[in-house]
Amino acid sequence: MRVLGIETSCDETGVAIFDTERGLVADALYSQIAMHADYGGVVPELASRDHTRKLLPLIQEVLDQANLERRDLDGIAYTAGPGLVGALMVGATTAHGLARALGIPVLGVHHMEGHLLAPMLESEPPAFPFVALLVSGGHTQLVEVRGLGKYRLLGESVDDAAGEAFDKAAKMLGLDYPGGPNVARLAERGDSTRFRFPRPMTDRPGLDFSFSGLKTHTLTTLRKLQSAGQLDEQGKADIARAFEDAVVDTLTIKCRRALDQTGLKRLVIAGGVSANTRLRERLSGEAEKRGARVFYPRGRFCTDNGAMIAYVGAQRLLAGERDDSVMKALPRWSLEGLQPPRTPND
C-alpha cells in the first residue's frame, strides 16, 4: 500500500510516500524558519499562507522522486492535530480533495503519534513495549507505549514545554528563533561550573515536568549580571550552559524514573529537542547503566516531517481506518484518546 503523508501542523511543510512493502520511498520538507525568524516566533497566518503555496509543489516533488503518478497512490494521511488550526486546514482540505478526486481512502493522523513512531522508520526500529519521551516546542510528555494506539501517559509538562522554554531563554539571550539549536551552540562556549540552575520538580516523586520556574531563574540571573555590568558574551554563554544542563538533567532524571517505574528496557526519544546532542549523550549513558537501549529518529525526522505521518497513516489505513466525508482539524487532541486499529473480529 502506497500512502502519501502530509504534515502542516505548524511552520514546516512535510510530504512523503511510505510503501508498506518497500518502506519510505520519498520525502521532502520545506521549513518556514527564515520567514518566522524576523518575528521571533511562528506567525499563524503567515504559516497557513506558506503551506498553501508550498504543499502542491512538494506533493509533485515526492511523486517525481518515487517515479510515481497520483493514480499510483493507495491512500493519503494528513496531520489532523494538534497544531495551528489554519495550518492544519491547509493539509486537511488538500488531502480530502485529492483523495476524493482519486477515489482512495484518506485519514487524519495525530501529530504526536507521528513523532512517537518516527523511530520505526529506521533500519533498527524499537520493538514494543517501550517508554517514549516526546519533547518538542509544544509538548513534553512521557508515554508508555504497548503497541499502535496503546498509549498510557506517565507524565507531562504542567506549563511550558521544554522546547518552548528553550525558545524563551534564547529570546532573553538575544538569540534568533528557533531557540533550541542557538542556545545549544552558545552553551558549547559556556563554563558549566559558574552557575547551577534548579532542576524543576525533581525533588519530589512523579513524572510531570515544569519549566516556567527555570525560565524565571534564567531571567533573574541575566538581570543580576546586567545590573553588575557583567553581561558580556561569556556571561551569556555561561547562562546558556546552565540552562541547557538544567533541562537535560531534568529530562534525564524523569526518563530514569519512568524506566524504573515501568520496568521497561527500551526508551524512545522523539520531537525537535531530541536532536540536542547533550541530551542524547546523557540519556544513552543512563540507559546503558540500566541495561536499556535508547532509540532516536534520524536528525531530519526529529522535527515535523511528512515521513512520520505517512508511516502512521499507512499502518492505520492498512487496518481499515479512514475518515468519513468530514475532514478533521483539531488544535487540541489528547494522545490518550487514540485507540488501536480495529481488527476484523472487533
DSSP 210-267: --HHHHHHHHHHHHHHHHTT--SHHHHHHHHHHHHHHHHHHHHHHHHHHHHHHT--EE
Nearest alpha-carbon partner for 112 in 151, 154, 82? 82
Q: Is 109 annotated among the ligand-binding residues?
A: no
Residue 199, Cα to own-chain centre: how many angstroms?
22
**% pLDDT > 70, the chain:** 99
306 is in an annotated binding site: no
177 pLDDT more than 90: no
Laid out side by side, the sheet with 266-270 consists of 150-156, 140-147, 130-135, 266-270, 293-295
Q: Above 80 in pLDDT, residue 345?
A: no
Beta-carbon contacts of residue 95 (< 8 Å; ≥ 6 apart): 4, 6, 76, 77, 78, 106, 108, 327
Instruction: Determine the pLDDT at residue 40.
Output: 82
12 beta partners? 31
- The gap between the terminal CA atoms of the chain, to the nearest Å, is 23
As its CATH architecture, domain 129-296 has 2-Layer Sandwich (3.30)
Q: Is the confidence at residue 327, as pLDDT, over 80?
A: yes
Q: Per the annotation, does 186 bind a ligand? A: no
CA distance 24 to 62: 11
Does the annotation list 27 as a binding residue?
no
206 is in an annotated binding site: no
Domain with CATH 3.30.420.40 in the chain: 2-117+301-337, 129-296
213 is known to lie in a ligand binding site: no
Q: Which pLDDT value is given to residue 346?
A: 53
Say if residue 27's pLDDT is above 80.
yes
Amino acid at 236: K
Rounded CA-CA distance 151/338 in Å is: 8
Question: Does residue 115 have a known ligand-binding role?
Answer: yes
CATH class of 2-117+301-337: alpha beta
Question: How many residues in the chain?
Answer: 346
The pLDDT score that the predictor gives to residue 157 is 94
Query: What pLDDT does 343 receive?
Result: 59
* Grid coordinates belonging to 18: 511510505
Distance separating alpha carbons of residues 96 and 321, to the nearest angstrom: 15
Q: Is 135 annotated in some ligand binding site?
A: yes
Q: Is 276 annotated as a binding residue?
A: yes
Longest Cα–Cα distance in the chain: 71
14 is in an annotated binding site: no
Task: Please indicate if the annotation marks 137 as binding a ligand.
Answer: yes
* Cis upstream peptide for 82 (omega within 30°): yes
Label residue 245 left, alpha or beta by phi (over 0 means left) and psi (-120 to 50 means alpha).
alpha
109 phi, psi to nearest 5 deg: -115, 145
pTM greater than 0.75: yes
Residue 189 scores a pLDDT above 70: yes
- Say what the pLDDT of residue 79 is: 98
Cβ atoms within 10 Å of 141's Cβ, excluding its own: 25
Would you state the pLDDT for residue 179? 87
* CA distances in angstroms from 286 to 6, 27, 54, 259, 293, listed in the order given: 35, 33, 42, 10, 9
pLDDT higher than 60, residue 344: no
| Mean pLDDT in residue range 53-72 | 98
φ/ψ (deg, to 5) at 179: -75, -40
